[in-house]
């Protein structure tokens, strides 16, 4: 399996960047999957720069209903005329972020909910023999503190992230988890994912939404220490993190987790 970052907040290769996420996944059997699409068209421009033909993608996923993950959906549907796009049925609802100036709309284009190739998903959706999407994550372990600034259709109630879904791919001895921002808490997502997969993960690709946490330096260090302990408790699992984890927060995690965690910037390609 090869995973290439088409959109991420940072770059080591001189590629244009934006606040967002898009990953191209090439399976050993030749199938291609696109996981998230960034804000607009940058994912497509960077794919071309990296020699990836998005017209050949077989399936696409939008992890949740925020613009920096599903804003490029229309562009993808124009570039690719065959792939189904799997989006949680609640992802097209309105979503907001609280800024200094007030609430800002951060949702995705609702008009695309009825597109013939958009598949509206529930709590578990099979995409093939060895690929499944799951949502409906419960548990409150180490929830992202930044969630307090995020709201759903009711603008006075914090988002419950029922629109967030994660992807499991099984390939030979590998069991791989892909999570966009892990608003439901990466530990909670991993725990449910193991129940769905029936076996532990060997690799996890995920933003962990550790930015904008409002914690003191000591409080942030304590939170990340607890998170690192939970993540390293998953034996023989390697983590690739990105995007909303934050580079500063990644630095703290990597001190705790050593070689079990890596940062994936725009243009990076990983073979597992």
The CATH number given to whatever domain includes residue 250 is: 3.60.15.10
Number of domains present in the structure of the chain: 1
Domain of residue 181 covers 2-271
List residues bridging with 158 in a β-sheet. 151
HSE-up of residue 165 (Cα within 13 Å, Cβ side): 31
| Under 8 Å between Cβ of 193 and 201 | yes
| Under 8 Å between Cβ of 243 and 20 | yes
- 246-266-179-91 Cα dihedral, nearest 10 degrees: 100
pLDDT of residue 212: 80
The 8-class DSSP code of residue 197 comes to H
Strand pairing report for 131-134 and 261-263 = unpaired
pLDDT band at 250 (very low <50, low <70, confident <90, very high): very high
Per-residue pLDDT tens over the stretch 84-111: 999 999 999 999 999 988 999 999 999 9
Per-residue pLDDT tens over the stretch 157-195: 999 999 999 999 999 999 999 999 999 999 999 999 999
Q: Which two tokens stand for residue 123?
A: 């709590």
pLDDT of residue 213: 81
- 244-2-117-41 Cα dihedral, nearest 10 degrees: 50
Per-residue pLDDT tens over the stretch 5-41: 999 999 988 999 999 999 999 999 999 999 999 999 9
Per-residue pLDDT tens over the stretch 210-248: 988 888 889 899 999 999 999 999 999 999 999 999 999
């Amino acid at each position: 399996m090869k995973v290439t970052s088409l959109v991420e907040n940072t770059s080591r290769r001189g590629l244009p960047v934006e606040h967002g996420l898009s990953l191209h996944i090439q399976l050993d059997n030749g199938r291609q999957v696109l996981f998230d699409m960034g804000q607009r068209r940058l994912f497509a421009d960077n794919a071309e720069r990296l020699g990836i033909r998005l017209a050949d993608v077989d399936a696409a996923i939008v992890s949740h209903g925020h613009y920096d993950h599903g804003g490029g959906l229309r562009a993808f549907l124009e570039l690719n005329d065959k792939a189904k796009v799997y989006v949680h049925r609640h992802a097209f609802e309105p979503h907001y972020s609280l800024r200094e100036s007030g609430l800002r709309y951060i949702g995705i284009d609702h008009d695309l909910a009825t597109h013939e190739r958009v598949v509206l998903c529930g709590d578990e959706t099979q995409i093939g023999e060895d690929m499944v999407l799951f949502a409906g994550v419960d548990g409150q372990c180490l929830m992202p503190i930044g969630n307090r600034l995020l709201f759903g259709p009711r603008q006075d109630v914090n988002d419950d992230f029922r629109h967030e879904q994660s992807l499991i791919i099984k390939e030979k001895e590998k069991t791989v988890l892909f999570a966009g921002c892990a608003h439901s808490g990466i530990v909670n997502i991993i725990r449910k994912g193991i129940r769905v997969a029936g076996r532990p993960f060997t690799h996890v690709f995920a933003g962990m939404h550790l930015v904008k946490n409002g914690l003191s330096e000591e409080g942030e260090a304590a939170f990340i220490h607890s998170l690192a302990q939970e993540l390293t408790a998953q034996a023989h699992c390697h983590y690739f993190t990105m995007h909303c984890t934050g580079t500063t927060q990644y630095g703290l995690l990597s001190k705790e987790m050593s070689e079990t965690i890596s940062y994936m910037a725009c243009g990076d390609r990983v073979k597992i």
